[in-house]
Amino acid sequence: QVQLKETGPGLVQPTQTLSITCTVSGFSLTSYYMQWVRQTPGKGLEWMGFIRSGGSTEYNSEFKSRLSISRDTSKNQVFLKMNSLKTEDTGVYYCARDQGLGAYYFDYWGQGVMVTVSS
């Protein structure tokens, strides 16, 4: 069955870089777009960006300058890296499967990883 699971550091210091891995099973990354969404106390649910089945990426302009999404199809993993973290980046980060090739809604989500930005 389809499963997604995020793993990440939990605590990150301000100005540092966040790295989260999303490991998927039950489907191929070469057949689906993969999305990243976060949920923060200040802004609620926010779309961050996605990686297409072919490997190209698109980012929310709000994060574009400091966000990078990549993948390793051999390991069934998608990666999020965001630099210059601020306390306002504290929240839960989700990876989600796009229902189709650019359907832009999400039929499977990981359980999320809580990230706290604090010194």
> Which residues of the shown chain bind other proteins in the complex (CB under 8 A)?
35, 44-47, 60-61, 94, 99, 103-107, 109-112
Checking DSSP bridges between strand 91-98 and strand 34-40, what pairing results, if any?
Answer: antiparallel
Chain position carrying tokens 């302009």: 61
Nearer to other proteins, 35 or 53 (CB): 35
Q: Within 10 Å of residue 76's Cβ, how many Cβ atoms?
A: 16
Residue 100 beta carbon to other proteins: minimum distance, rounded to whole angstroms: 10
Residue 47 beta carbon to other proteins: minimum distance, rounded to whole angstroms: 4
Residue 55 beta carbon to other proteins: minimum distance, rounded to whole angstroms: 20
Nearer to other proteins, 32 or 94 (CB): 94
Nearer to other proteins, 29 or 96 (CB): 96
Residues 19-51 as b/e (b if ≥16 CB within 10 A, e otherwise) read: ebbbbbeeeebeebbbbbbbeeeeeeeebbbbb
Residue of 95, 103, 101, 106 lying closest to 32 (CA atoms): 101
Residue 3 beta carbon to other proteins: minimum distance, rounded to whole angstroms: 12
Nearer to other proteins, 17 or 39 (CB): 39
